Amino acid sequence: MQYHLNGFHPGDPDVFPPAARVHDRSTGLPAKVDVLIAGCGPAGLCLAAQLAMEPGIHTMIVEPKMGPMEKGQADGISVRSMEMFQAFGFADKIKRESVWINETTFWTPGEGGITRAARVDDVPEGISEMPHVLINQARIHDMYLDIMKRSPTRLEPDYGLRVRDLSIDTTTDDHPVTVTLEHTAPGREGQTETVRANYVVGCDGARSNVRRAIGGTLHGDAAHHAWGVIDLLAVTDFPDWRMKSFVRSAEAGTLMVLPREGGHLVRLYVELDRLGEDERASDRGMDDADIIAKAQAILKPYSLDTKEVVWWSIYEIGHRLTDKFDDVPEDQIATRNPRVMLAGDACHTHSPKAGQGMNVSMGDTFNMGWKLRSVLTGRADPSLLHTYTAERRAAAKGLVDFDHEWSRVVGAKTHADVDGELPVVAQTFVRNLPFTCGLTIEYEPSALTGDTAHQALAPGFELGKRFHSAPVIRVADAKPMELGHAIETGTAWHLFAFAPDGDHGQPGGAVADLCDWLQNDPTSPLRVHTRPDDDPDAVLDVRAVFQPGFRDLDYGAMPALLRPHKGTYGLCDYEKVFSVDYKSANIFDVRGIDKAQGCLVVVRPDQYVAQVLPLSARDALAAFFAGFLKPAA
């Protein structure tokens, strides 16, 4: 991280100086806000943490509960979410606190009970530099809440409030959404107040009032099957208690073992009973004792002695997708821009057994956050917000479809397992590892994602997919690092110039020519879209990777754009130039980059690859950014 740019400031560099407008409820609720977020789940807090960093955006986030979550609910963090956490700056903390899932085991009926039938890698080799981890959802909330509290706006949730209803005035652009908020605090239950907003984001769960207010409905099916989930501290002789395990018994059913953070806590997902067509799990009156008894029966001949139940719940499997991700009717997309959007469980519901709900929900608002910031700061046209629905509806449908298949495989009474081969559930698990790692989302060609005309220049950076990081050396200080870790949350686009063979950054080289054009030609996107008072990388963050080792490169001879001077004092940014890390892995080899020609990889603020272009593709680059960014005022 970089700090002291505008002068020396002692103390925690993650605490930002307060902005002119900070969160303050001493005089009551605000009359108007830029963005109102309903719900303090992972989707809502992920969005709030991004918006809180923008001093000029007035954000409000409401939550009907009276304080932050402490335990329960989701626990699985995919490698893709860990990559996202790196951009937020708290991946290392999560790595330290969490349990890493390195291997998954599969148990099937055997003589006298259950027997281990297979064990497989949980994360395929080379798929990401990040691990798959498990940790209490409440700790993820804490990370976002900390960012909000330390941000320039000092944003904090308004607890004890829920969105009851809203209306949209399509005839005005001045805070057109009127939101009716209902108090839930003891002594104020049912009291209402109104707040007007430019945008409202419904992260208020499967029973979303925001979704209902815009006429949205969840469609799908239910499997009519009750499952129990329980976090417990227990003594057992089951040998894979600290492994992620799928256990299927001959008669008692199926469970999953998920070790949790701290070395002792374990979560079990336990198959309970089939439900009638119109029956709910709550009708059976089951509780934690039923979950434990069923788990004991499934694990035989191994014992399970529960010492403490930390949290438990009984749920029904359902797979549903909303018909609306925003308030704009299909036939009005060309004439109206979204004012109300949905994210997380408000638009997709599924079982928790694949560990995808929290991850996809955060992915929703990580996609949305930079777009809202770009629109509200005047850098992008409001029509950019249409891309949220276009991109995330497909991601949500993929999740619901996958979970439908996965739930039926996990819950099947019998499998035609063949001696010497992986059990069916293990085969399905291995086949779907890229999906469960969160790495199969692929945004279709659009204003934000180019076509594959030049994909051959870097096949390892797939258009529309997340930027697959690889090791490099930062030239100025010889630091080994992951190139993808240069991307931090914000609204800046990242241009990674991969130099052709023989290019050391010298004048007349391909990288120097590109940098000269970007910096000096009035038609370049950097000149067109960067404001006079912006730092040079506020909109387009240009970095270069060269093929020679770092000792063979002269940092002081690099193009001026790669050594920009920024901030109050005009201090030099020394973090734009990289070389191949020959001790670890050659990024040109592992990502298939054309060494003779090099290439330019354009990466979105949310870490997805938008373009792969030749280094000389000036017109294409300018036209791409002109498609959604406004010219600087």
581 secondary structure, DSSP code: B
Segment 530-558 shows an average pLDDT of 97
Instruction: Cite the beta strand spans of 356-430 per DSSP E.
Output: none
> For residue 273, what pLDDT is reported?
77
How would residue 283 be classed by pLDDT, with cut points 50, 70 and 90?
Answer: low
Tell how many helices (H) and how many strands (E) occur in the chain.
14, 27
> How distant is the alpha carbon of residue 260 from its chain centre?
21
Which tokens is 138 given? 């409440």
Q: Which of 5-14, 136-145, 604-613 has the lowest mean pLDDT?
A: 5-14
Return the residue matching tokens 């198959």. 271
What is the pLDDT, as a whole number, of residue 418? 47
Pairwise CA distance, residues 154 & 140, whole Å: 18
Q: Is the pLDDT reported for residue 320 higher than 50? A: yes
ω before 186 within 30° of 0 (cis)? Answer: no
Task: Kindly give, in sequence order, each residue whose CB lies less than 8 Å from that of residue 378, ignoring residues fewer than 6 positions away.
Answer: 630, 633
Q: Residue 175 and residue 172: Cα distance in Å, rounded?
A: 8
Distance CA 198, CA 542 (A): 32
Contact 463/452 with Cβ under 8 angstroms? yes
- Write out the two tokens for 131: 């691990």
Nearest residue to 443 via CA among 462, 469, 468: 462
Return the higher-pLDDT residue of 438 and 156. Answer: 156
Among all chains, which residue has been given the structure tokens 């940092």? 555
Residues 6+ apart with CB under 8 A from 95: 82, 131, 133
Other C-beta atoms closer than 10 Å to the C-beta of 11 total 6
pLDDT of residue 275: 62
The token pair that represents 390 in the structure block: 């276009």
Please provide the size of the chain in residues. Answer: 633
Dihedral angle at the C-alpha atoms of 212, 214, 215, 218, nearest 10 degrees? -60
Nearest to residue 309, comparing CAs of 295, 326, 323? 295
Rounded Cα distance between 631 and 633, Å, is 6
Residue with tokens 């240069």, as numbered in its chain: 486
229 contacts 269 by C-beta, under 8 angstroms: yes
State mean pLDDT over 93-122. 95
- State residue 473 phi and psi, 5-degree precision: -115, 125
- Helices of type H across 283-356: 288-299
Q: Write out pLDDT tens, residues 66-88.
A: 999 998 788 899 999 999 999 99
What DSSP state is assigned to residue 252?
A: S
Query: Does the pLDDT value for residue 414 go beyond 70?
Result: no
* pLDDT above 70 for 630: yes
End-to-end CA distance of the chain: 30
Please state the pTM of the whole predicted model: 0.95
Question: Which residues contact residue 48 at a Cβ distance below 8 angstroms, ignoring those fewer than 6 apart?
Answer: 37, 40, 59, 61, 144, 148, 155, 157
Helix, strand or coil for residue 441?
coil
188-219 pLDDT per residue, tens: 999 999 999 999 999 999 999 999 999 999 88
Q: Residue 28: what residue type?
A: G
Tokens of 376: 């509200």
Contact 64, 208 (CB under 8 A): no
Surface-to-core class of residue 80, CB atoms within 10 Å of its CB (0-12 exposed, 13-18 middle, 19+ buried):
buried
Distance CA 369, CA 392 (A): 13
**Rounded CA gap, 497 and 499, in Å?**
6
Q: Residues 6 or more apart from 389 whose CB is under 8 A from it?
A: 325, 326, 338, 341
- pLDDT higher than 50, residue 165: yes
pLDDT at residue 152 in the model = 96
Inter-residue contact 25 to 154 (CB < 8 Å)? no
The span from the CA of 286 to the CA of 274, in Å, is: 13
Residue among 574, 555, 585 at smallest CA distance from 481: 585
- Half-sphere exposure (Cβ direction) of 251: Cα atoms closer than 13 Å: 6
Is the pLDDT higher at 277 or at 183?
Answer: 183
**Residue 419 banded pLDDT, cuts 50, 70, 90:** very low
Q: What is the pLDDT of residue 237?
A: 98
Closest CA to 541 of 508, 514, 568, 576: 576
Residue 125 burial (C-beta neighbours within 10 Å; 0-12, 13-18, 19+): exposed
Do 291 and 304 form a contact (C-beta atoms < 8 A)?
no
What average pLDDT score do residues 452-478 get?
Answer: 98
The confidence score (pLDDT) of residue 404 equals 72
Give the number of other CB atoms < 10 A from CB of residue 555.
Answer: 16
CA–CA separation, 350 and 331 (whole Å): 29
> What pLDDT does residue 411 have?
64
The residue with tokens 């309970």 is: 272
pLDDT of residue 461: 98
pLDDT of 365-378, one tens digit each? Answer: 999 999 999 999 99
Higher pLDDT, 419 or 485: 485
pLDDT per residue as tens digits for the range 368-413 = 999 999 999 999 999 999 999 999 988 888 877 877 777 777 766 6
Torsion angle, alpha carbons of 177, 147, 390, 494, to 10: 130
Interatomic CA distance for residues 579 and 551, integer angstroms: 9
Among 60, 61, 135, which residue's Cα sits nearest to residue 98? 135
Average pLDDT score over the chain: 93
Instruction: Provide the β-strand partners of residue 494.
Output: 541, 603
Which amino acid makes up residue 628?
F
Which CA distances in Å does 475 have to 93, 248, 566, 574?
27, 53, 19, 8
Q: Which residues contact 592 (CB under 8 A, 6 or more apart)?
A: 458, 459, 460
pLDDT at 415 over 90: no
Rounded to whole angstroms, how far apart are CA atoms 389 and 566?
A: 36
At 85, phi and psi to the nearest 5?
-60, -30
Q: Residue 531 contacts by C-beta under 8 Å, 6 or more apart in sequence?
A: 538, 632, 633
Spatial CB neighbours of 431, under 8 Å, sequence gap ≥ 6: none
Is residue 560 predicted with pLDDT exceeding 80?
Answer: yes
* Integer Cα distance of 309 and 231 in angstroms: 6
From the number of C-beta atoms within 10 Å of its C-beta (0-12, 13-18, 19+), residue 196 rates as middle
